[in-house]
A and B are shown apart, each in its own frame.
Chain A
């Protein structure tokens, strides 16, 4: 990649966000004077620390990754050797590649080996192939509302897990019933409570030409405006990407399966075939830390190399 190409890529991240590398790990963070505070949170055992993993595509078999199971095992090994036990692990969808019973069974068993208090998931469009998400909901839908959405709280942070892949057309779709759930759910949350929103497809318009957006997300975004700090974490695009819009920061996660091209850099978002070593570099997990009283969450990206 040339310097000029880098500048173009850097532009994607907006002026406020910086990716940096420490000990072979990429760190993305908001470049402000809270860096030290954020770093301190990551090492504080009393802080909230959770892991986001995404797009394992169990069952995929193609030249872009001939061993997605091995890659996901690798990701779970990383989670289990972080040096701390995360409060929870969130998988942001495309757990399976084709929604078969065997694939759901396998990914559920693998997720249950994560050394953490609880594993949460939201569905990707690959988890709703042929049945509108019924097999997904039978496997992972316990204690959720509607078509699988839910919320929870810990460490003074409010979490929303949304479903925008079960009734999608070209782009993600939340639907009026879920938007109503969000309205009622947020009504009781104080404006100074940090809010984290999980979804598979981005809630921001990352690249609508490829369906990398959610057609009715603005109704939810409007409800999130009154909070001082909102962090939206998504999958689906198989690459790191960060964007800040006022009080809301969006972070797309990478995948444990196979990379997709940067927006517009290929005719279509098709699996990218890389040499083995470069493939591992493109795959990863994300750890997120937050200490009560801090202004923002601290994100750390770890490659599977």
Chain B
């Protein structure tokens, strides 16, 4: 990386090795003798990957489509404090990171970052499952049942937070 490189440039070891590689680039000729590439799949299997620009042909790749993540919104809110129903995503963090609402409350997340994020329950089977939210996008969910709901952003899994729903 830049800073390491800049610093080691003056190091004695760096100079010693620079000599060795300098010699190399002078005598490194074009490759040959391995035209087939010699890449081998495991016994009984086929080679993964895809051919490079100079590689041999392989099976064509099928197209793709995208499933739509679900997310429930709407429903009768019970009107706890308004501020308590909103989570802002900013600076790669959920704020507040711990939100408490009453059962039946509809919580809305708003992405105020330049990067995309998701609101996704931790563990399997959780109720929160937003699509990728771009700047300005919102996602809402109405919490019917009391409990602690842990969630994260699947794009940046270090972003974690909780919603606690009280009866």
Contact = CB atoms under 8 A, between A and B. Distances in A.
Interface of A: 1, 6, 9-10, 18-23, 25-27, 29, 31, 35-36, 39-40, 42-43, 45-46, 49, 60-63, 80, 83-85, 87-89, 97-101, 104, 108, 111-121, 125-126, 128-131, 134-135, 138-140, 142-145, 150-155, 161, 168-171, 185, 188, 209-211, 239-240, 254, 259, 267-271, 278, 281-282, 300, 303
A130 B132 contact: yes
A155 B34 CA distance: 10
B75 to A, nearest CB: 23
Classify the interface of chain B: helix, strand, loop or mixed.
Answer: loop
Given A153-B39, A269-B156, 13 more contacts: A22-B22, A60-B115, A61-B114, A84-B28, A87-B37, A88-B52, A89-B52, A117-B54, A140-B61, A143-B46, A152-B39, A267-B93, A269-B158
B48 A62 contact: no
A126 B8 contact: no
Interface string B42-65: 110111111111111011011111
B22 A26 contact: no
Q: Closest 8 CB pairs between A and B?
A: A117-B37, A20-B14, A116-B52, A281-B2, A120-B49, A43-B28, A22-B18, A150-B48
B52 A62 contact: no
A117 B18 CA distance: 30
A100 B66 contact: yes
Interface residues of B, number: 79
A144 B30 CA distance: 32
B116 interface: yes
Given A115-B53, A151-B42, A23 B25 contact: yes
Contacts of A43: 24-25, 27-29
Contact of B50 (A20, A98, A142, A239): A142
B82 interface: no
B1 interface: yes
